[in-house]
Amino acid sequence: MGQVTVGKAAEMAGVSAKAIRIWEAKGLLPAADRTQAGYRMFDEADLEVLRFIRRAKALGLTLDEISDILDLQRAGAQPCGRVTQMLDAHIAHIARTLAELRDLRRSLLAARRAADQVRRAGGDAVVCQIIETSPNAAR
């Protein structure tokens, strides 16, 4: 494969041309040759980096994290330990988020049950009363 333009590189890597331009501006891609008209040309090594970035983003890694990994790799270090730490941090964050969502779900179910009880008792202003009497409303 020779060199390709940003549009073709985007197609081949499964990303958008806009994403490539952003990643290039953030320094995730190494400096590249440009045509006389200023167009960046991508080679197979660039495409591998683009595919790596796409896969890393699919795992939830941020561009800063991806940049850190690429910097380690380019410096000759094996970034696997750092990647594992990043993934562990993301897993912990997801676990906290899930716990918070479970708590929120319990609160919403309790509020919904309270709304049904107030409505059956013939009460008005159900929503306001639910919020005012909710044990989690002050949080």
CATH number reported for the structural domain that contains residue 39 in this entry: 1.10.1660.10
The tally of domains found in the chain comes to: 1
pTM: 0.75
Full residue range of the structural domain in which residue 34 is found: 6-77
Residue 119 placed within a domain: no
- Per the CB < 8 A criterion, the answer to whether 9 and 50 are in contact is yes
Dist. CA 104–CA 108, nearest whole Å: 6
Residue 71 belongs to a domain: yes
Q: Please report whether residue 82 resides in a domain.
A: no
Is 111 a member of any domain?
A: no
Torsion sign, CA atoms 122, 127, 131, 135: positive
Measured CA to CA, the distance from residue 12 to residue 18 in angstroms comes to 14
Residues 54-97: pLDDT tens digits? 999 999 999 999 999 999 999 999 999 999 999 999 999 999 99
Give the largest CA-CA distance in the chain: 79
- Per-residue pLDDT tens for 35-61? 888 888 999 999 999 999 999 999 999
At 83, list the tokens.
Answer: 């990647």
| 6 has a pLDDT exceeding 70 | yes
